[in-house]
Structure 1
Amino acid sequence: MAKAGTHAGADAFGELPEAQVRAFRGLFRGEVLTPDDDEYDETRRIWNGMIDRYPAIVARCRGTADVVDAVTFARESDLPVAVRGGGHNVAGSAVCDGGIVVDLTEMNGVRVDPETQTARAAGGATLGDVDRETQLFGLAAPLGVVSETGIAGLTLNGGVGHLRRKYGLACDALESVDVVTADGEVRVASEDRNADLFWAIRGGGGNFGVVTSFEYRLHEVGPEVVALFPWYRGDDAVEVLTRFREWATDASDEATVIAFTAFVPELEEFPESAWGEPAVALLGCHVGDEDDADAEFRPLRELAEPIVDLSGPMTYVDLQQMLDEDYPDGRRYYWKSVYVDDLTDDVVDLVVGHGTKSPSELSTVDLWQLGGAIDDLEPTETAFWHRGRRYMLTFEANWDDPDGDDENVDWVREGISQVRALPAVSGGYGNFPGFNEDPARTVFGDNYDRVVEVKTEYDPTNTFRRNQNVEPRGD
């Protein structure tokens, strides 16, 4: 056995039989990194700087066969399993203490078929990887809003992005997936094959296996879209959100907007005199005709005297990358969410009031406009339950100083607690789960029992539990 170390990863690795580790290395075509390797500390780090975990092994997979070997080794060695696609889930589900990280980051290829308007992307691909290839043909999948996000976690938990009202959630665009399940088998899931698993994959998170390949249905988008991005002063926030609520009632499905409270960033695009002031902004995308977009967005650009208005035509790729610099690797993040059926005055007052109390000027409170194509499916047609909601409300704490951990986490939890006390508020989004401390029913709603059935069928020993976990039924 290897010598035990000073942290959970080294201790767990020290308990593994050397012959078993040697056999695994002999099978594996990718890179097997352990606590003694120089690259270990780099590979165990993920996007959220709050997460500091020590796996026994990081298995950098080159293909599906490597994933099978890693899952099999973990099962036979009784090791916890974490799956790293992009590594961007705020709860840190991509890494675990004392277990094995099935790392897909080198599996990031994307192939587009422009004739069928589909794309197949490997499990380690990011939104930017997919956008780069699909936009060659003027096509896009309805993914998220930050290009460095991994497609895997985003899609498995539903996936809300700039195209959500026109083309639905990321999981709604799936045609099929390849999944390595807990028994080491590779299964194709689609409407016609393993349909129960396909149902569960679409919104069920990482509960059922390692998805090594996603096949997406694409739509004609770009290369240019019309972006909405005016910033208003905090004193105008209640008026801006109230009139945004009125605008959203009759908005077309081509238009999708996020309204959020923030603090004016210290960037040259903004007047220096406003830096650090409370603000409210509207970030939107319109995929229709440019004249129609200008007409539909004009009322939102005239809600008050803007601090700055960055609206206008831009490439879809640029829109997808616009927020990247706001969420760098290593910053500290804690995000939670609820769904809101009615943007009442009480909700507006809470959003504005709590936003100004943030201990970090990097934090935001966001109102994501929903509806449109998201509601074309019934809540029971996929594992993603929260359809028919008008908004998603998220409290996003972002900060850099470790000494601020407690006050920033408390700020989010206090905001969530206050809004959950209001009527017509429910649920939570699997991609903004805090540290997965809420019951799984919060995410899965009335689909929970069916999700348990599928979990019990494909992962009866709960191998995949580093997520918004659904426990299988016991014997």
Structure 2
Amino acid sequence: MPHTRTHSPAVPGFSGRLVTPRDADYDDVRAMWNGAVDRRPRYLARCLSPSDAAAAVRFAGERGLAVTVRGGGHGVAGNALCDDGLVVDLGPMKSVSVDPARRTATAGPGTLWGELDAATQAFGLAVTGGVVSHTGLSGLTLGGGLGWLMRRHGLTVDNLTRAELITADGRLLTADEHEEPELFWGLRGGGSGLGAVTSFTYRLHPVGPEVLAGPVLWPLEDAPAVLRRYRDHVASAPPEVATVVTLRRAPAAPFLPVELHRRPVCMITMLALAEGDAAERLLAPLRSIGRPLLDLVRRRPYAGLQSMTDAVVPAGWHYYWKSTGLRELSDPVIDTMTDHAARARSSRSYAILFHLGGAVAEADPAATAFAHRAVPHHLNVNAVWLPRQQESLGAPERAWARDFVAALAPYGEGVYVNFLDRDDRSRLPEAYGDRTHARLAELRRRLDPDGVFGTG
């Protein structure tokens, strides 16, 4: 619907739109992917350019307002939104420029992964980026960037070659290996709070456009046996094999038959980055485990794999996450995961297990702020319910997620910063380790001595 313009203060040098609570579409503009986030900024500065972002930051600084930065607005904790401050909203800044000869892509901060994938796949190229195509580039990149290609081609941050950002005093800086190298280190995995990044340049790799990939489903009661076989296989799997394990009731997803909807399942989605028969051979051991209910592994567009689960994590539902890294998939870990997955009350809740290793573990641990590269698995427990179910499911599902991860504490190591929810701020040192956390804190103090950039 058309928005109603109301009087807003003039922002020198700002050509975008300043949205305030007086605007008719204020609630639509401030809405986040996670419908459980409900914060009310004083201003949302809808930026069209880096100069707009700089003007917005200076405007906020002059008024002593806390500043947060929003790209795609997909972060579960909602740190891109603040109460009574100013949001530098970079969502309108969507752009992708691909250089197929150099195998690079430069993208604006409002770009979503599906948009970047579409542009790069036109040349048979891709960069590691998420497992849901409506995730934004900005937050995922700044936190590290887990994704389907990470075991073969590294994390998103391992492929970030350059960034431009607006600092707390409104300056435009370029960061790469040669210019502002300490800032470049921090931007690769350090999360939010270093500035408003207005441009990302990535190294691309030949991928697709078709890949052998898809999910295989087993009954949840078979999960202990299936995951023991899975553990033994992935421990020595080559980096061309990527897997994601999901424990849940089968969603009402378009790729699943109706008769499986809501049935408790163990689902292993897998990808082989190889051609023809070689790809089939790589995935054959996983596909032959036990007696699957359904095998949907087939040649499909890489972009289709990236967007396969989009429909089961839509914007507006209520999400609450708890997460931990896991040193190993021991028998007690597998049994604990299976037992707790079966206890979810919401049919939309699930646990998802990412397998790292490969290029992630082989990268220089000092090159980026992403920590715990030697941890082979990251578990993310997602409590999910509809807004109308807040009273009936909100509290029990949050407790389920907390209890799930607490039960795995003896086996945990570290946590991925992008999986931290709004009540997890005390876990930031755990995400980085003491040395990296202290180094990031010092970098933030140097760039933002007055603490202009808040965390929501």
Output the TM-score relative to the length of structure 1.
0.91
Give the equivalent residue in structure 2 for 1:430.
417
Which of residues 39, 54, 57 is equivalent to 1:53? 39
Does residue 452 in structure 1 map to residue 441 in structure 2? yes
User: What are the equivalent positions in structure 2 for 1:169-188 lying under 5 Å apart?
Assistant: 169-188=155-174
- How big is the shift at 1:87? 0.3
CA distance change for structure 1 residues 343 and 374 in 2, over 3 Å: closer, same or farther? Answer: same
In 1: Cα distance, 2:255 partner to 2:366 partner: 45
User: What are the equivalent positions in structure 2 for 1:380-395 lying under 5 Å apart?
Assistant: 380-395=366-381
In the alignment, is the contact (CA less than 8 A) between 2:253 and 2:312 conserved in 1? no
User: What are the equivalent positions in structure 2 for 1:270-419 lying under 5 Å apart?
Assistant: 270-400=256-386, 401-403=389-391, 404-419=393-408
Which of residues 78, 89, 97 is equivalent to 1:111? 97
CA distance change for structure 1 residues 220 and 273 in 2, over 3 Å: closer, same or farther? Answer: closer
SS at match of 1:380: coil
Q: Which moved more, 1:221-230 or 1:374-383?
A: 374-383
What residue identity is the alignment partner of 1:451? Answer: L
What residue identity is the alignment partner of 1:438? Answer: S
CA distance change for structure 1 residues 98 and 135 in 2, over 3 Å: closer, same or farther? Answer: same
SS at match of 2:281: helix
In 1: Cα distance, 2:38 partner to 2:200 partner: 29
In the alignment, is the contact (CA less than 8 A) between 1:253 and 1:373 conserved in 2? yes
Which of residues 72, 76, 80 is equivalent to 1:86? 72
- How big is the shift at 1:265? 2.5
Listed as ranges, the gaps of 5+ residues in structure 2 are: 1-6
Give the equivalent residue in structure 1 for 2:431.
443
In 1: Cα distance, 2:266 partner to 2:167 partner: 45
- How big is the shift at 1:101? 1.1
Listed as ranges, the gaps of 5+ residues in structure 1 are: 1-17, 468-475
What residue identity is the alignment partner of 1:427? Answer: G
In 2: Cα distance, 1:291 partner to 1:93 partner: 45
Aligned residue pair count = 445
- How big is the shift at 1:271? 4.9
Does residue 194 in structure 1 map to residue 155 in structure 2? no
SS at match of 2:80: coil
Does residue 247 in structure 1 map to residue 233 in structure 2? yes
Give the equivalent residue in structure 1 for 2:200.
214
Output the TM-score relative to the length of structure 2.
0.95
In 2: Cα distance, 1:190 partner to 1:45 partner: 33
SS at match of 2:9: helix
Which of residues 71, 76, 89 is equivalent to 2:62? 76
In 2: Cα distance, 1:224 partner to 1:169 partner: 21
SS at match of 2:82: coil
CA distance change for structure 1 residues 173 and 268 in 2, over 3 Å: closer, same or farther? Answer: closer
In 2: Cα distance, 1:185 partner to 1:275 partner: 52
CA distance change for structure 1 residues 43 and 252 in 2, over 3 Å: closer, same or farther? Answer: same
- How big is the shift at 1:55? 0.8
SS at match of 1:58: strand
User: How big is each residue's C-alpha offset from its partner over 1:6-43, in whole Å with a ceiling of 9 and x where there is no partner?
Assistant: xxxxxxxxxxxx9xx6331x531111111111111110
Which of residues 1, 6, 10 is equivalent to 1:23? 10
- How big is the shift at 1:290? 2.6
What residue identity is the alignment partner of 1:449? Answer: A
In the alignment, is the contact (CA less than 8 A) between 2:144 and 2:188 conserved in 1? yes
Q: Which moved more, 1:230-239 or 1:275-284?
A: 275-284
User: How big is each residue's C-alpha offset from its partner over 1:195-244, in whole Å with a ceiling of 9 and x where there is no partner?
Assistant: 00000110000120010000000000010111031010011110111100
Which of residues 265, 278, 289 is equivalent to 2:251? 265
SS at match of 1:439: helix
User: How big is each residue's C-alpha offset from its partner over 1:103-160, in whole Å with a ceiling of 9 and x where there is no partner?
Assistant: 1111010000111100000111110111011111111011111010000000000010
Does residue 465 in structure 1 map to residue 454 in structure 2? yes
Give the equivalent residue in structure 2 for 1:10.
none
- How big is the shift at 1:418? 1.3
Q: Which moved more, 1:40-49 or 1:372-381?
A: 372-381
In 2: Cα distance, 1:270 partner to 1:227 partner: 15
Q: Which moved more, 1:105-114 or 1:395-404?
A: 395-404
What residue identity is the alignment partner of 2:349? Answer: S
Does residue 150 in structure 1 map to residue 120 in structure 2? no
Give the equivalent residue in structure 2 for 1:32.
18
Give the equivalent residue in structure 2 for 1:120.
106
In the alignment, is the contact (CA less than 8 A) between 1:228 and 1:297 conserved in 2? no
In the alignment, is the contact (CA less than 8 A) between 1:270 and 1:307 conserved in 2? no
In 2: Cα distance, 1:283 partner to 1:254 partner: 14
Does residue 203 in structure 1 map to residue 189 in structure 2? yes
- How big is the shift at 1:270? 4.2
In the alignment, is the contact (CA less than 8 A) between 2:253 and 2:311 conserved in 1? no
Which of residues 221, 225, 232 is equivalent to 1:235? 221
In the alignment, is the contact (CA less than 8 A) between 2:34 and 2:78 conserved in 1? yes
In 1: Cα distance, 2:363 partner to 2:241 partner: 19
User: How big is each residue's C-alpha offset from its partner over 1:422-450, in whole Å with a ceiling of 9 and x where there is no partner?
Assistant: 14x21111111021333320111131121
Give the equivalent residue in structure 1 for 2:123.
137
SS at match of 2:449: coil
What residue identity is the alignment partner of 2:432? Answer: F
What residue identity is the alignment partner of 2:431? Answer: V
